[in-house]
């Protein structure tokens, strides 16, 4: 399968968008909205006991042995850019937007053996999650926040890391009913609003959140010392992005395997 011929490109950006909690949340939402055909086809490809939830972070776990996959997890669109062609910011070795399109086309084609198609599915599940982590699309010449030090609730870390994990975990800690609602179907009108747009538009949407929330509410001090106020600004958009990611993942999988 040409799509998975090993390359020698090595990503310079640490990759773990949303962390396991975020990726699993997106997959739980997606599973609640899959049609029966998509569920059946996914079950044929995945190993016994596997699901979209259990494989949600697989692409991160194989990154050390699949170095060519590093650039596929993100796209560095500068936060001062407001529109244009994302391809300008997608290097030759690929990026998350291009890879999602390739994986969708591959799975729709019916090509490849079971193991190749299972791998494509697991990458797709993960990359749609990555696309909805704002700092995997927006960049301020700091590798998506990796080079921006912060002190978050008295813990020294970096901006990318807190969007990967800390904000999500605090959200679910403070609002346990949200975590409990992940397996519930949303009503049709809300679902239509959440899944609206194209993959290209979803990337620009995430980049805009990076600009208007993730970077905007940092203090000017270096490292930025942030805590409850920053969390308060971030939580609504994090929850929105998790829900969008889940409903959109289901939408993509349902289009690959329609009823």
* Cα 225 from Cα 206, distance rounded (Å): 24
| pLDDT tens, position by position, 177-222 | 999 999 999 999 999 999 999 999 999 999 999 999 999 999 889 9
CB-based contact 127:245 (threshold 8 Å): no
| pLDDT tens, position by position, 89-133 | 999 999 999 999 999 999 999 999 999 999 999 999 999 999 999
Average pLDDT over residues 74-80: 97
Name the one residue in this structure whose structure tokens are 């972070």.
57
CB-based contact 79:138 (threshold 8 Å): yes
244: closest CA among 252, 234, 232?
A: 252
Fold of 2-256: P1 Nuclease (1.10.575)
Q: What is the pTM of this model?
A: 0.92
Backbone angles phi, psi at 56, to 5 degrees: -60, -35
247: closest CA among 57, 25, 24, 26?
A: 26
Element spanning 245, H or E: helix 228-256
Q: How many CA atoms lie within 13 A of 202 on its CB side?
A: 32
* Cα 161 from Cα 25, distance rounded (Å): 17
| pLDDT tens, position by position, 229-238 | 999 999 999 9
* Cα 160 from Cα 147, distance rounded (Å): 8
């Amino acid at each position: 399968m040409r799509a998975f011929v090993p390359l020698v490109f090595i990503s310079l950006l640490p990759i773990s968008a949303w962390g396991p909690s975020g990726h699993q949340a997106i997959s739980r939402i997606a599973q609640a909205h899959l049609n029966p055909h998509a569920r059946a086809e996914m079950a044929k490809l995945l190993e016994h006991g596997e699901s979209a939830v259990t494989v949600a972070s697989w692409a991160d776990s194989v990154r050390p042995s699949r170095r060519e996959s590093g650039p596929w997890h993100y796209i560095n669109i500068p936060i001062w850019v407001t529109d244009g062609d994302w391809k300008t910011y997608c290097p030759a070795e690929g990026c998350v937007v291009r890879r999602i399109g390739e994986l969708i086309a591959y799975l729709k084609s019916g090509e490849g053996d079971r193991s190749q198609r299972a791998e494509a599915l697991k990458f797709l599940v993960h990359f749609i999650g990555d696309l909805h982590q704002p700092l995997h699309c927006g960049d301020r010449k700091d590798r998506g926040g990796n080079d921006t030090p912060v002190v978050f609730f008295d813990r020294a870390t970096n901006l990318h890391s807190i969007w990967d994990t800390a904000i999500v975990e605090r959200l679910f800690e403070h609002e346990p009913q949200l975590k409990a609602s992940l397996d519930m179907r949303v009503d049709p009108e809300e679902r239509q609003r959440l899944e609206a747009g194209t993959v290209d538009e979803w990337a620009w949407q995430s980049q805009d959140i990076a600009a208007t929330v993730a970077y905007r509410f940092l203090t000017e001090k270096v490292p930025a010392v942030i805590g409850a106020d920053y969390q308060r600004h971030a939580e609504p958009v994090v929850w929105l992005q998790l829900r969008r990611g889940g409903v959109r993942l289901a939408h993509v999988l349902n289009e690959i395997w329609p009823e």
